[in-house]
Amino acid sequence: MAIDTYHVINDPIHGAMQFTTEEIAWLKPFIDHPVFQRLRHIKQLGFADLIFPGAVHTRFNHSLGCCYVAKQIASRLGTSAVDMQTVVIAALLHDIGHGPFSHAFEEIYEHAAIRHENWTPYFFREFYDEDFLYRYNKKNKSLPICENNLNTINKLIMHEPTDKQLLADIVSSQLDADRIDYLLRDSHFCGVKYGEFDYRWLLHCLAVIDDDGVNRLGINYKAVGVVENYLVARRLMIRNIYYHYKKYAAEHLLKEFLLHLSDVLTQSTRFKGLKTLPIGKFLEQVRIFNDKSRVFADDALKTTFIKNNFYLYKQLCDYDVYNLIRALANTDHVHVCVDIAKRLESRKLPRVFSLKQEQHDKVKQRVAEILESHKHDIHAWQLAVLNPPHHSYLSKDRIKVVDYRGRTKYIDEDSLIINALLDKTEMMCCLAVDHGILNSEPVKQLLAEL
């Protein structure tokens, strides 16, 4: 009798993550590919480690964990080997489009949103290479893949319509492997308890639910309590970690640094040595794109920018940005980029003052007046109102529950807590003030009004 052998990846969240010999053969060619290895050098939570020193984990760690969670969910639901192969590869590769500092880097596009998902198909195309497929299938003779398989995986990652909706839910939904892993992982590495929930019980209570003839990922009635815990955990992580005032202010400073640098690289000969670096070339193109999108932003403009600059983007990771910050922080140039770089290098972050939602509009107007009347002394990067919106639970993808009689309903119909979160837009409003202007009269007057 043959005994399955296992490949073990030791993980601080899931412990000994076991993959069979067959499963690791499905995954290892993708893991070893430069497209995926690049994620080792992109931190999961941007500048969170400036506030939570342990938050230095990467998209690489998270992607492996997400893959393992997807495997456990698929096993629990009894999927076929082919579907298991498809969903674990999709979960593994779901974040390959991220740039330096993850979501923080996405803020440099001023007038047209470009997210990591927009870059994902360009990374994914590298797996269509004939040599890669030949080597992959040589190791996976029982379950080879072809372009059609890759197309299905790409659809799962990109949220495109598919006849594999159950697998799509495992990769991206209110109960997906991505959220399950990042809540547990981010909570652990930040040293907090906000993101914790009973994952084992949630896994045990997952169910396949018929939704107008389509199989969807849902739960049985015993899991209502743990899903309440899970959704509240997500809300607490958003409010206390992902949009932590200091973290968000630091990432605002990073955005301002990169945008000012893109200006100077495009318009003058200052810091000309940076123009030869991939990050310098990319920032020049970002400025050109931002100028064009200010006039007219459409999908064609975004597509052209991404297509033409993918060769630069795929070379970038956190180290490229760190090197820029360090290089400019240690120069004697008098320039706004140097001022911001020095603050980021020395962790001299803005002072942050929390605002109530009803104060937002008034304070934003006062800030605009100050910036206009003191434009030579106070600059936008030094004084800003930040108000990232967030949602904990949206009706467009409601979770279904099946009771002991096989009847289904939406979980918010059975839970006061989740019903209270349904489609609620919340804000985290704050005023970020650079230390250099704290004692200026207009800022002192503004703070006195809060």
409/426 Cα distance (integer angstroms): 26
Domain match, 333 and 359 both: no
Q: Are 21 and 68 in a shared domain?
A: yes
CATH, residue 101? 1.10.3210.10
Residue finishing a domain among 299, 326, 349: 349
**Which domain does 305 fall in, by range?**
246-349
Distance CA 392, CA 22 (A): 37
List, for residues 289-324, the tens digit of each pLDDT value: 999 999 887 889 999 999 999 999 999 999 999 999
Residue 226 in any domain: the answer is no
d(Cα 400, Cα 102) in Å, to the nearest integer? 31
Report the chain's mean pLDDT, rounded to a whole number.
95
User: For residue range 206-239, what is the model confidence (pLDDT) as tens digits?
Assistant: 999 998 889 999 999 999 999 999 999 999 999 9
- The reply to whether 359 and 314 lie within a common domain is no
Compute the Cα dihedral for 87, 88, 91, 95 and give only its sign: negative
50 in the same domain as 172: yes
Residue 271, pLDDT above cutoff 60: yes
pLDDT confidence of residue 363: 95
3-state helix, strand, coil in the chain (%, to 5): 60, 10, 30
Assess whether 304 and 371 both reside in one domain.
no
Residue at which a domain ends, from 349, 376, 396: 349
Residue where a domain stops, chosen among 146, 172, 191: 191
**Do 32 and 166 belong together in one domain?**
yes
Rounded to an integer, the average pLDDT of 6-14 is 95
Q: Is residue 22 part of a domain?
A: yes
pLDDT number for residue 171: 97
The answer to whether position 154 is within a domain reads yes
Number of domains in the chain: 3
Residues 66 and 102 in one domain: yes
10 Å CB burial of residue 87 (0-12, 13-18, 19+) is: buried
Clarify whether residues 450 and 357 are in a common domain.
yes
In a domain, 326, yes or no: yes
Residue 10 within a domain: yes
Residue 28 inside a domain? The answer is yes
Domain match, 338 and 364 both = no
